[in-house]
Amino acid sequence: MKKYLLRRILFSLFSLLVVIWTVMLLVFSLTDRSVIFQNDDTWNKRSANERIVYEYSQYQRYEYLEYVNYTSYASNKLGNGDAYTEESNLIQRQEGDAYLESATVQQFIEEYTAKGYKIVRLDPIKFSSGRTKGQLKPGGRGFLLAVRERPIIYRLFDYLGNLFTIETTNDVKDPSLTDRYVRFEKDPYSGLFAIVGSGTTHKYLLYFDSRFPWIHQNWIHLNLGVSYTRFRGQEITGVINDPSGDLKNARQQFPALIGTDQYVETSANFHSATYNMGELTDAEKQQFNDRYTVMTYRRSGLSMIENSFVIGLVAVVIAYCLGLPLGILMARKKDKLVDKLGMAYIVFIMAVPSLAYIFLFAALGTKLFNLPYKFANAQVKFLAYILPTISLALPQIGSLMKWMRRYMIDQMNSDYVKFARAEGLSEQEIFSQHISRNAIIPLVHGIPASILGCLTGAIITERVYSVPGVGNLLTLAINGHDNGIIVACTVFYTTLSIISQIAGDLLMVKYDPRISFETKGGR
């Protein structure tokens, strides 16, 4: 079993690698990279040569290429004295090939062409007539750049290498910090213990608090990359994980003032404290014992992924609680009215496009029960969750009913059922103790997939009710040409699907000991 599992996990990692690599190759080489400037204000403001250099800087930021500006090269080489000023003016003044006469320029070109860079010369653009003749046009400064495309394979390795970062005590590059450790400490905020680090970026590496899921960590960070256009430049992990809504104040004490009677109303989350490299203010020196003074703020709303997960999980629980018993009931009353009604419902759910019935439920829910339709407009937040949850649960109920009925009916003609009947067991007992236990085995396999699937959100439901969840992350990224999010979603979805497959198999083995993955001899 262990050997099988190990092989399976290794193969899954391999296939994950292949998938990420393929998607990266397709996305970064076949799509038009300039679309990232579509709604970029800085790009719109700049013109001519400066715009081109800005494009290069953005491409470098998103790892399409590497470039070196000659002026920065010259300043490194010559310092910031007169020689440097003269060199940088040379680029501005002279058009054509005249700039090549400079020894530093020649050196620059030689050095970088040897490294495989391409030299890009942007001639200064000047007014050719009028009062300002000979002066630079706006954005017309001349540039000399060395540019090199980054092979996609490097991107892949960089991406995978940075996927997980683990905080160590050497993270803070501050020579004045001598006392570096990671240890258990009593946490004054929760009253329980916490793992506290010094020299790590975060102070609290593992801690408890009152927020779901009650235990939190800042030790290992998942880094899915950066969003290109939709959340320009933001970390994707942060986008899906950071709570939304208004600041939530609470009566708290600063770390250094614990034990005194000085309380403040603040939304600061002291557990999120990170190291401050700058100068501490006098107030901070009083309030904190150490330099961990930068923190995030508590907010009242849920994060994107939490929204999706809450709705999805409740829907899954409802679906299993209703779908399985209904499926059993349909099998028991085969060809009776209940069965026919159930079949009609199943056909409706299976055949009708999902968005048709989600809109139908939305229309019925708002008309008949006066439930809030759009998430943002809801007066009572709790009510806003009802319709999306029901919309998600109903199709799952249909599909569970369908399979449960199918598997029950398949089992009903088995020998063990006839035997049980011959033994004189009641129909009730046969159905609940014998048939349903066997029929449920294939459905057990799907449980991890449906629970983990909640993390990816629901595309149409979230769109219809405008739920701020993760379901539309991928589709909106595709509409907005956000390559960063597309890659991140690929990694995230594929990993979840692999984990749920393996977990489903394990659960099935656990539930039914007859199933085994061991390869027994023979052919």
Q: Which residue ranges make up the site for other proteins (CB under 8 A)? A: 11-12, 14-16, 18-19, 23, 26-27, 30-31, 347-348, 350-356, 359, 362-363, 366, 373, 456, 459-460, 463, 472, 474-475, 478-479, 481, 486, 489-490, 493-494, 497-498, 501
Does residue 213 have a cis bond before it (omega within 30 degrees)? Answer: yes
Placement of tokens 């048939």 in the chain: 435
Distances 81 to 77, 84, 86, 393 between C-alpha atoms, Å:
11, 6, 9, 71
Q: Cα angle vertex 500, ends 493, 401, to 5°?
A: 105
CB 498, min distance to other proteins, A: 5
| Residues forming a β-bridge with 186 | 193
Pick 23 or 160: Cβ nearer other proteins: 23
Pick 31 or 433: Cβ nearer other proteins: 31
Pick 271 or 405: Cβ nearer other proteins: 405
Please report how many Cα atoms fall inside a 13 Å half-sphere around the Cα of residue 415, on the Cβ side: 0
CB atoms within 10 A of CB 440: 18
**Closest among 504, 506, 486 to 496, alpha carbons compared:** 504
Pick 200 or 490: Cβ nearer other proteins: 490
CB 467, min distance to other proteins, A: 14
CB 494, min distance to other proteins, A: 5
CB 9, min distance to other proteins, A: 13
SS3 260: strand
CB 267, min distance to other proteins, A: 36
Pick 140 or 395: Cβ nearer other proteins: 395
**Closest among 255, 294, 289 to 278, alpha carbons compared:** 294
CB 262, min distance to other proteins, A: 53
Pick 247 or 363: Cβ nearer other proteins: 363
CB 362, min distance to other proteins, A: 8
Pick 20 or 239: Cβ nearer other proteins: 20
Structure tokens given for 433: 């103790």
C-alpha–C-alpha distance, residues 462 and 474, integer Å: 13
SS3 29: helix
CB 373, min distance to other proteins, A: 8
| φ, ψ dihedrals at 322, nearest 5° | -95, -45
Pick 229 or 274: Cβ nearer other proteins: 229
- Position 212: which residue type? F
Our CA dihedral for 251, 255, 258, 262, rounded to 10 degrees, sits at -50
| φ, ψ dihedrals at 369, nearest 5° | -110, 0
CB 227, min distance to other proteins, A: 16
Q: What is the DSSP letter of 455?
A: G
C-alpha–C-alpha distance, residues 316 and 314, integer Å: 5
Please report how many Cα atoms fall inside a 13 Å half-sphere around the Cα of residue 131, on the Cβ side: 0
Pick 30 or 368: Cβ nearer other proteins: 30
CB 293, min distance to other proteins, A: 42
C-alpha–C-alpha distance, residues 386 and 375, integer Å: 10
Pick 75 or 354: Cβ nearer other proteins: 354
Distances 130 to 127, 148, 450, 509 between C-alpha atoms, Å:
8, 39, 71, 85
